[in-house]
Amino acid sequence: MELKSGLRGNAFLAVKESDLSTEFKSGEVPVLATPRVVALIEEATLDAISEYLEKDKTTVGMRVRIDHLTPIPVGASISAHAILEQVDGRRLTFSATVETEKEKLLIANATITRVIVDTKEFLKTVKR
């Protein structure tokens, strides 16, 4: 199968205490942490493409541009939706949104760039 624009992926989260900015140490108010929002979006990007990658390939994050617009409390159910917008060689660019499940309230929107790498070769470059 071929990686092409238009592929879509989703990820879901029921917000828990461990997802809050106070737990991530990324803020001082008990609301959904921006780093957790980014992780959920990245999960959606992987969902969009995982079955289209060769077995020895994976993608790694390169760039994230995010607007985190709405504070979300514990107990909310949210979803991330990613669309592969562009394939430029090994570079994949996605647009993404995060919203509440019931009300469809926009929480965040983002552009994510991931790069296709050979898994074994990439791991050889990791410095210990």
Of 74, 69, 56, nearest in space to 99 by CA: 69
> Within a 10 A sphere around the Cβ of 54, how many other Cβ atoms?
10
Of 34, 36, 42, 40, nearest in space to 19 by CA: 36
1 has a pLDDT exceeding 80: no
Tokens 């995982």, residue?
50
110 in a structural domain: yes
Q: What CATH number does residue 84 fall under?
A: 3.10.129.10
Enclosing domain of residue 37: 8-124
Domain count, the chain: 1
62 in a structural domain: yes
pTM: predicted TM-score of the whole model, two decimal places: 0.95
90 in a structural domain: yes
User: What is the per-residue pLDDT for 128?
Assistant: 78
Q: In what order do the strands lie in the sheet with 57-68?
A: 8-14, 77-88, 91-100, 106-118, 57-68
1 in a structural domain: no
pLDDT tens-digit map of 101-127 = 999 999 999 999 999 999 999 999 998
Tokens 């898994």, residue?
119
Give 66's strand partners. 110
pLDDT tens-digit map of 59-108 = 999 999 999 999 999 999 999 999 999 999 999 999 999 999 999 999 99
Contacts with 123 (C-beta within 8 Å, 6 or more apart), sequence order: none
2 in a structural domain: no
User: What is the per-residue pLDDT for 127?
Assistant: 83
